[in-house]
Amino acid sequence: MGRIAKGVKCSVSACGKEAIRSISAEKVRSAGLKVGSGERRAYLCKEHYREYKKKTKKEKKVEQWRYKGV
């Protein structure tokens, strides 16, 4: 049973909603979301996960092109 199943809260400052995803805190910080500095994992609620996906969409597309060999 993982932490999300146990009911961990969102790691973004000023948010106390239930988390649905766990992502590397470094990746979340690079996307521009404010997460505590001493954590390895960042737990995101539905709204912050959507925000994370939107901010990293272009970066992921560039990485796909880079490894695809186009």
Bridge partners of residue 21, in order along the sequence:
44
Q: Categorize the per-residue pLDDT at 70 as very low, low, confident or very high, splitting at 50, 70 and 90.
A: low
Q: What is the pLDDT of residue 57?
A: 95
Supply the pTM of this predicted model.
0.84
Model confidence over 12-45: pLDDT tens digits? 999 989 999 999 999 999 999 999 888 899 999 9
Would you state the structure tokens that stand for residue 58, as one six-digit string?
A: 């272009």
Closest by Cα among 24, 15, 19, 14 to 49: 19
User: CA–CA separation, 16 vs 10, rounded Å?
Assistant: 6
For the chain, the structural domain boundaries read 3-68
Q: What is the pLDDT of residue 5?
A: 92
| Side-chain-side CA neighbours of residue 11 (13 Å) | 25
Identity of residue 36 = G
**Which residues fall within 8 angstroms of residue 8, CB to CB, at 6 or more apart?**
18, 19, 43
Model confidence over 50-66: pLDDT tens digits? 999 999 999 899 989 99
